[in-house]
Structure 1
Amino acid sequence: MSAALVGAAPASAQVSDAMPSFNGAVLTIAYAKNVVYVGGDFTAAIVNGRPVARGRLAAVDARTGALLPWAPAADGRVKSLVVSGSAVYLAGDFATIGGQKRDSLARVDVASGALSSTFKHAMSGRPMAIAAAHGRLYVGGGFTAVDGQARGRLAAFSLSSGKLDARWRPTVDDQVETIAAGGGRVYVGGKFRKVNSLPGYERLAALDPAGAAVVTGFKPKPPVITYGLAVTADAVYSAHGGQGGRISRYTPDGVHKWSATFDGDAQAVTVLGDTVYAGGHFDRACSTARTGSQGSCVDGADHRVKLAALSTADGHLLDWTADANGVEGVLALASSAKLGAVAMGGAFTTVEGRQQKRFAQFS
């Protein structure tokens, strides 16, 4: 996701809103106006204890918690979705949407869920992350070709025509896990070590949105895999794995401002006002940056189970808690400045000690 959310009030509620649950993991979340769209591995939403069929895609009224009739059905995992204008773009492991063939990438109508007949591409490999900006849909993952044309794990498509962009052709040497746009750039994160064959841009890099040249002034070089990104007007926030996970803040010039460390991977990050929200499969927020060989906190810790809130200014841990459970924990986060809300998705089944399966919102 990417947005300048300065001025929005943070979600302060300790108890989550009344929302549907899901019978499988929620892997991606996007807000559009008063609706929150979710995708993942589920085949049903749970409303008042009863299953309602939803084929790995669903929409919820973010104000009331009502499950909406929007229900395009994917036959496999939806890993990433993004809303742009009247369209919702999808990426994942699916082969069909609504029974019609689509190879891992699709566009559906934001209101009706109808599948676009003009956006249809063949992917050689898996797309993992998508972002919409600058008139383009940017896609990252593990793929090596699109429509038979070589692509090095990154590609772009015209939002207006749906065609593969012939000019935007960056390459990385390993998987892209996350992609975000903001500040006139496209940021990519993942496992890679080289970008456009250039060393020194491992795991996190910035690209020109039109020509795909590396932005050489942004060279943070995080030491561990990048799983998530959030971009504001003056900062880039990144979520990392490794021996103990971390959330980091960088300036647009690549200067490291701070890192907050956990005893497990940080897998998702979002920003609302002056608060950074971190999600992952950690159980503790470490008091210092030091972690042990298995990622354990060395110098003390505070309990923060799968979810934590940090100050944008210096990364210090805030009092807000909303503990979830499970091994994988929180896999996706999104925020809405308009609604003052933060949504979390993942593989958890409880939030703050009460049953709330795989999706929750705080406002």
Structure 2
Amino acid sequence: MTYRGKTLSIGLSAVAVALAVAATPAQAQSSDSMPSFNGAVLTIAYAGDVAFLGGDFTAAIVRGKQIARGHLAAIDSRSGTLLSWSPAADGRVKALAVSGTSLYLTGDFGTVGGQKRDSLARVDVATGALAPTFKHAITGRPYAITAGGTRLYLGGAFTAVDGQARGRLAAFDLSTGALDPRWRPTADDQVETLAAGGGRVYAGGKFHKINTIPGYDRLVALDPAGGAIITAFRPRPPVITYALAVTSDGVYSAHGGQGGRVSAYTPGGTLRWSATFDGDAQAVTVLGDVVYAGGHFDRACSTARTGAQGTCVDGSDNRVKLAALAVGDGHLLDWTADANGVEGVLALASNAELGTVAMGGAFTTVDGRTQKRFAQFS
């Protein structure tokens, strides 16, 4: 099974603010004591002391015992306690976004809490109660959401919402759930990830044209109100963009390709640095002066050159599924916390207030210890 087409919880309105705050990066090699899960964790979103998780899992594992959780779960980040919060979805949850007292989710589900919801829903962060808003019919598959200002933004491979044409991008009123009639940008191929910050909505994916205009390949900045392209940001990365993180002074992207890479851009779209790996980078988050990268790589390459199947050509350092990079210049840091598995790490999120970094994916060990599909470092 592949987990491509998922996204992360980077760029959430609450998290975007937190990312801009200086914090001490996680240094612990060993992860905190946390529940495990019986299926992949594809997305993580922090709200205060709580980490919300979504994915393919149907149960959490606590001290060897399985506790039913239908593709959604909540964990007390300080104690590692699995919370009773459990508004079960009947299918994969691909992306989460927190805004105020609400958690927004999207994925391959048809019901949440036993009530019909086609791939998009809103629940209460405290009780898990399903809101009557965000009840839509989506033609196609959504992969990404982010909250910014008064809107929830949706990206993916869909072509319509409630019968109204939408070209892989759409927006909704955060409070009423109404489809936004003004925000109607279009992408010519799927949108894998979204992030809101700095008065912009960033979109990454496979696309080459936005609003039928060429030259905005795989990464673009859009006006949050009208959906127009912000032409000052035009980085044009050469390979697919899987994940984004936005801070007050930079945009950080995770990419696939021949090998994989994490890149840092200025808000003006200038490439500041790029770090290369021997496999796809599928997740990225920023905490203080550290950029964390996750994926299915095993090595960080010494240079940008890669050979057949992404192998490092000019030397490498072992970094199995996880790596830490300096915000300023992208140099590889000593921090290691190796994970395992073919797909490896699929989601990263950070909490500046707690000084924590959380990871989700398809792994079953972290730093040689059994820890299945979710881990946190503090």
Q: Same fold (TM over 0.5)?
A: yes
Runs of 5+ in structure 1 lacking a partner? none
Map 1:71-90; keep pairs closer than 5 Å. Answer: 71-90=86-105
Where does residue 109 of structure 1 map in the other structure? 124
Q: How well do the aligned residues superpose, as a CA RMSD in angstroms?
A: 0.6
Of 334, 337, 341, the residue aligned with 1:319 is: 334
Correspondence 1:154 to 2:194: no
Structure 2: 5+ residue stretches without partners: 1-9
CA distance in 2, matches of 1:32, 1:98: 21
2:151 aligns with: 136
TM-aligned CA deviation for residue 7 of structure 1:
1.3
Number of residues paired by the alignment?
363
Is contact 1:80-1:91 (8 Å) kept? Answer: yes
Q: Distance in 1 between the 2:133 and 2:153 partners?
A: 17
Identity of aligned residues (%): 76
What's the CA shift for 1:134? 1.3
Kindly state the Cα deviation for residue 58 of structure 1 after the two structures are TM-superposed.
Answer: 0.1
AA aligned to 1:38 is L
Contact 1:6/1:274 (CA < 8 Å) preserved in 2?
no
Deviation at 1:118, TM superposition (A): 2.4
Task: After TM superposition, give the deviation of residue 117 of structure 1 in Å.
Answer: 1.4
**Does the 8 Å CA contact 1:239/1:278 hold for their aligned counterparts?**
yes
Name which of structure 1's ranges 113-122 and 212-221 shifts more when overlaid on structure 2. 113-122
1:352 to 367, 370, 373: 367
Aligned partners of 1:165, 1:258: CA distance in 2, in Å?
36
- Equivalent of residue 177 in structure 1, options 192, 198, 219: 192
Give TM-score scaled by structure 2 length.
Answer: 0.95
**4+ residue runs over 2 A deviation:** none
Q: Offset of 1:51 from its aligned partner?
A: 0.3
Matched to 1:70, the amino acid is W
Q: Which TM-score applies when normalising by structure 1? A: 0.99
- Corresponding position: 1:193 with 2:208: yes
Residue equivalent to 1:37:
52
Of the candidates 35, 58, 65, which is equivalent to residue 73 of structure 2?
Answer: 58
1:130 partner letter: I
What is the match of residue 263 of structure 1?
278
Paired with 2:96 and 2:304, the residues of 1 have a C-alpha distance of: 33
* Residues 1:335 and 2:350 are matched in the alignment: yes
Q: Is the 8 A contact 1:247 1:278 kept in 2?
A: yes
Which residue of 27, 30, 36 corresponds with 1:12?
27
Matched, 1:124 2:139: yes
Offset at residue 240 of structure 1 (A): 0.1
Aligned to 1:21: 36
Q: 2:43 & 2:133 partners in 1: Cα distance?
A: 24
Secondary structure of the residue that 1:206 maps to in structure 2? strand
Q: Distance in 1 between matches of 2:223 and 2:346?
A: 28
Q: Match of 2:123, SS? A: strand
Say if 1:43 and 1:53, in contact at 8 Å, map to a contact too. Answer: yes
Matched, 1:242 2:242: no
Distance 1:119 1:26 in 2: 23
Deviations 1:73-93 (A, max 9, x none): 111000001111111100000
Is residue 2:77 matched to residue 1:69? no
Partners of 2:101 and 2:232 in 1: CA distance = 35
The residue identity in structure 2 corresponding to 1:279 is G
Q: Paired residue for 1:285?
A: 300
| Distance (whole Å) between structure 1 residues aligned to residue 252 and residue 134 of structure 2 | 31
1:63 counterpart letter in structure 2: R
Deviation of 1:119 (Å) = 2.1
Deviation of 1:312 after TM superposition, in Å, equals 0.4
Aligned equivalent of 1:226, options 241, 249, 269: 241
Deviations along 1:59-81, one digit per CA (max 9) or x if unpaired, are 00000000000001111000001
Shift of 1:294: 1.0
Deviation at 1:293, TM superposition (A): 2.4
Aligned match of 2:3: none
Cα distance, 1:29 vs structure 2: 0.1
User: Displacement of 1:126 after TM fit?
Assistant: 0.7
What is the rounded CA distance, in whole Å, between the counterparts of 2:245 and 2:105 in structure 1?
19
Q: Which amino acid aligns with 2:133?
A: T
